[in-house]
Chains A and B, each alone.
Chain A
Amino acid sequence: MNRPLGRAKGPGPTPHSFLFVSPDLEKNLKVGEFITYEAEIDGEPQTILARISERRPVRLYPDPFSSDPAIDPNRVAAIVGYSGKTSELFEITAEVIGCYDEKLRAFINPRVPPRVGTPIALAGNEYLSRVLSRVKAGEVGSATVGWLLSRPRLQVPIAIDVNALVSTHMAIIASTGAGKSYTAGVLIEEMLKANNRAAILVIDPHGEYETLAEIANSNALSGDGYRPGARVHAPGGIKIRVGTLEQGDLRYLLPNVSDRMSYVLGRAYREAENISKKRCSDPNRWTLRELEDAIDRQGENEEDTFDRGSANALLWRLRATIHTGADEIFDDQQQTPLSELFQPGRVTVMRLDQVDERQQQVIVAALLRRVFYARMDNKNEQVAPGSDNYLPYPVFILIEEAHNFAPANADIVTTNILKKVLAEGRKFGVGVGLISQRPGKLDPDVLSQCNTQFLLRIVNPVDQARVRESVESVGRDLLDELPALTKGQAIISGAAVNTPVLCQIRERYVRHGGESQSAVDEWRSYSGEAQTRRRERDTATPRQPSSRRSSLFKED
């Protein structure tokens, strides 16, 4: 145990907390910092871990001592006869985490608060490296994403449990620019290391993850004959077969669909399914052409003249919205085999920039549905190798801008399937990671199903409130730190760690693609160019009128 920094004073405001008093001469005892003390459990001395949740000064100079900024109040105090070292004294509240059980690799909470006068010490680096997570840095199943923020660089590595992370889902939540995508990149790098070799798909609505392609050439991640892979697909590089779209997807995609049109669409959709079933005993292989024809036939209904108009309106909308072909995302025949989207030891980036938001949502819904049911069937060994849906290993899907796919107070095409995956994905090996800068706009149920959280700086009070209500694993004291965090600092909590930690996320091995653009730099470079051109123009020798005339007859 380290040298004591304080002594226990008595019980704290809650049953798990206690108070201790310290002069904190080295300014170590910040909120979130870990401390330890010894207590006897079943006759054995044990080290108990606790976390500081509050720090309150119990000694303060009178304010007027500081009335002259040029004079140190300690000096004034010395003049009136106080020259002790402990002009600052703190009453510190700490929450007992418990005693680490080496066999269970978890904390058991023996509820032994320290006796009055017990020495309290800063938790040792080595001890913390061992107990903060079930897995140790570098072990199989560990992702070393950074180090404990309150300790010097790399002293206490934060290694999170990848199995827990993917099986019970994850969320990265922070204000814009706080480092979400960067953190996601670090996590992907870690998951692609030889000790994990994850199969990851990134849904990238802003084209921020292109630089992940460099992972394939990074020596930091390869070794022992293993080399991770990375594929980045532009929109259209990953195919969705139109036949896998549900009626609801279509209704959602087409603009301003009236009840009448919706009715016509429903009948046409069933007809297209039947045609597909007759052709290849699979209802989900109809082509866009077959659907169009089916809609057209609905318009020929003699009994109702309205149907013609509705059918025409639908056709017009369908043709304006959904396109199939070589460069399109939707295709009549093909769909990208799942084993191509997901490969152990490889990240696939599905760029969706320049794709309309509703289309993005439908694409994600179709993809999630396909992966989820494919994994279900694969689990039941109903899929043959070689099939498009053959996917014999678990997968992890990272979704950026998650609030667009599970918005609060609205049910959209993606909401249901996302909820289903979050609730049941664990059974079938489909893990989801959600990234959002607007947790306030994210469905609270969805957020609370993500059992590991990376919380970076959050300033907006609405967003803070949503996090407070949906993230149970983090105490108020830590959440209060959210607005004060800086770039790359994260609270990591939940299933993948033994106790919430304040972590400095490490630097990336490969370049980050979401760098903020400097508007001023761009203006300056353009202004430079424009000026050069203007200068060239202004200083050029004017052409002689005679030469212009001569150019009528011959080339200059």
Chain B
Amino acid sequence: MSKTREVILGKIVKSNSHTDYVCQVYSLNEFEPAPRPENYALGTFVKIELTDGTSPAYLVGLIYDTVLLNPEFGRLGPRLSSESELTTFSPDYLNERAVLLGITAIGRVKANGEAVLGVPRLAARSDALVREMTREEIVHFHTGSGQLDLSYLPILVRIDNPLAYHLARIVLLRLMDLLPAYRAELDVLEDDLGWQTQIGPLGGLQ
């Protein structure tokens, strides 16, 4: 597994609860490399720094929702300006067009590298940086104890979102890819969610 490059996605701008954070994705020119949509896809594992860079400890979160902020507003306004003109004449206005990510916290990694899954005791600060997790970090988070650990799954399927089961399924499919040694066990869980998301709504007995 080649070490993937770390992408900074944005910063925490708001939280709705202890585990429910809102991250604003950086726009084009703020950071290099700039985050691209596949970096913040639904079900992406992210880390939220817990200190301002002084400690390697971080919260682990999962992108469970995406909201585009005021996407239509610009078009209704100075409609004659093209996007390139806007960049030149009113950069602030462009900044108001933002992508917001809903992130649910599912655990943390302590400064010593120990992974703790489940509701984290610590909360992130405002403006904390949010990064996409690398494959290695995801693998470590889930198997650091020497055993596959998915103990956040029950919390995940209970988040207040119609996509909760789909999200859990995306996570499982991703992990099956990353953790082939646990494919059979993951398959048991994935199969159940698959039934509940795909067959259950059509009237399958559950």
Task: Point out residues on A near B: beta carbons under 8 Å.
Answer: 62, 64-65, 67-68, 70-71, 75-76, 78-81
Among residues of A, the one whose C-beta sits closest to the C-beta of B117 is: A81
Task: Give the shortest distance, in Å, between A68 (CB) and chain B (any CB).
Answer: 5
Q: Is the CB of A79 within 8 A of B192?
A: no
Interface residues of B in 161-196 (CB under 8 A from A): 182, 184-189, 191-192, 195
| 30 chain-A/chain-B pairs, Cβ below 8 angstroms | A62-B192, A64-B188, A64-B195, A65-B188, A67-B188, A67-B191, A68-B184, A68-B187, A68-B191, A71-B184, A71-B185, A71-B188, A76-B185, A76-B188, A76-B189, A78-B147, A79-B147, A79-B148, A79-B149, A79-B182, A79-B189, A80-B151, A80-B153, A80-B154, A80-B189, A81-B117, A81-B118, A81-B152, A81-B153, A81-B154
In the complex, what residues of B have CB within 8 A of residue A79's CB?
147-151, 182, 185-186, 189
Q: Is the CB of A81 within 8 A of B151?
A: yes
In the complex, what residues of B have CB within 8 A of residue A65's CB?
188, 192
In the complex, what residues of B have CB within 8 A of residue A71's CB?
184-185, 188
A64–B185 CA distance with the chains assembled, in angstroms: 11
In the complex, what residues of B have CB within 8 A of residue A62's CB?
192
Give chain B's interface residue range (CB within 8 Å of chain A). Answer: 20 to 34
Among residues of A, the one whose C-beta sits closest to the C-beta of B184 is: A71
In the complex, what residues of B have CB within 8 A of residue A80's CB?
150-151, 153-154, 189
Q: Across chains A and B, which 10 residue pairs bring their CB atoms closest together, nearest first?
A: A81-B151, A64-B192, A80-B153, A79-B150, A68-B188, A79-B148, A80-B150, A76-B188, A71-B188, A71-B184
A75–B184 CA distance with the chains assembled, in angstroms: 11
A80–B182 CA distance with the chains assembled, in angstroms: 13
Given contacts A67-B192, A81-B152, A81-B154, 7 further A-B contacts (CB under 8 A): A67-B191, A68-B188, A79-B148, A79-B150, A80-B150, A81-B150, A81-B153
Task: Give the shortest distance, in Å, between B75 (CB) and chain A (any CB).
Answer: 46
In the complex, what residues of A have CB within 8 A of residue B117's CB?
81
In the complex, what residues of B have CB within 8 A of residue A75's CB?
185
In the complex, what residues of A have CB within 8 A of residue B148's CB?
79
In the complex, what residues of A have CB within 8 A of residue B118's CB?
81
Task: Give the shortest distance, in Å, between A79 (CB) and chain B (any CB).
Answer: 5
Among residues of A, the one whose C-beta sits closest to the C-beta of B191 is: A67
A71–B148 CA distance with the chains assembled, in angstroms: 14
Task: Give the shortest distance, in Å, between A407 (CB) and chain B (any CB).
Answer: 49
Task: Give the shortest distance, in Å, between B193 (CB) and chain A (any CB).
Answer: 9
Asked, given contacts A78-B147, A79-B149, A79-B150, whether A70 binds B195 with beta carbons under 8 Å apart, the answer is no
Task: Give the shortest distance, in Å, between B21 (CB) and chain A (any CB).
Answer: 22
In the complex, what residues of B have CB within 8 A of residue A81's CB?
117-118, 149-154
Task: Give the shortest distance, in Å, between A87 (CB) and chain B (any CB).
Answer: 15
A394–B180 CA distance with the chains assembled, in angstroms: 80
In the complex, what residues of A have CB within 8 A of residue B189's CB?
76, 79-80
Interface residues of B in 98-132 (CB under 8 A from A): 117-118
Q: Which of B154, B191, B192, B195 has the most CB of A within 10 A?
A: B192
In the complex, what residues of B have CB within 8 A of residue A67's CB?
188, 191-192
In the complex, what residues of A have CB within 8 A of residue B153's CB?
80-81
A81–B118 CA distance with the chains assembled, in angstroms: 9
A425–B145 CA distance with the chains assembled, in angstroms: 76
Task: Give the shortest distance, in Å, between B27 (CB) and chain A (any CB).
Answer: 38
In the complex, what residues of A have CB within 8 A of residue B182's CB?
79
A71–B117 CA distance with the chains assembled, in angstroms: 23
Task: Give the shortest distance, in Å, between A125 (CB) and chain B (any CB).
Answer: 41
Q: Which of A71, A78, A81 has the most CB of B within 10 A?
A: A81
A67–B194 CA distance with the chains assembled, in angstroms: 13
A79–B188 CA distance with the chains assembled, in angstroms: 11
Task: Give the shortest distance, in Å, between A303 (CB) and chain B (any CB).
Answer: 86
In the complex, what residues of A have CB within 8 A of residue B147's CB?
78-79
A67–B193 CA distance with the chains assembled, in angstroms: 12
In the complex, what residues of A have CB within 8 A of residue B149's CB?
79, 81
A67–B186 CA distance with the chains assembled, in angstroms: 12
Task: Find A64's partner among B150, B186, B191 (CB 8 Å cutoff).
Answer: B191
In the complex, what residues of B have CB within 8 A of residue A64's CB?
188, 191-192, 195
Among residues of A, the one whose C-beta sits closest to the C-beta of B157 is: A80
Task: Give the shortest distance, in Å, between A76 (CB) and chain B (any CB).
Answer: 5
A62–B153 CA distance with the chains assembled, in angstroms: 15
A70–B185 CA distance with the chains assembled, in angstroms: 9
Interface residues of B in 36-69 (CB under 8 A from A): none
Task: Give the shortest distance, in Å, between B66 (CB) and chain A (any CB).
Answer: 26
In the complex, what residues of A have CB within 8 A of residue B191's CB?
64, 67-68
In the complex, what residues of A have CB within 8 A of residue B187's CB?
68
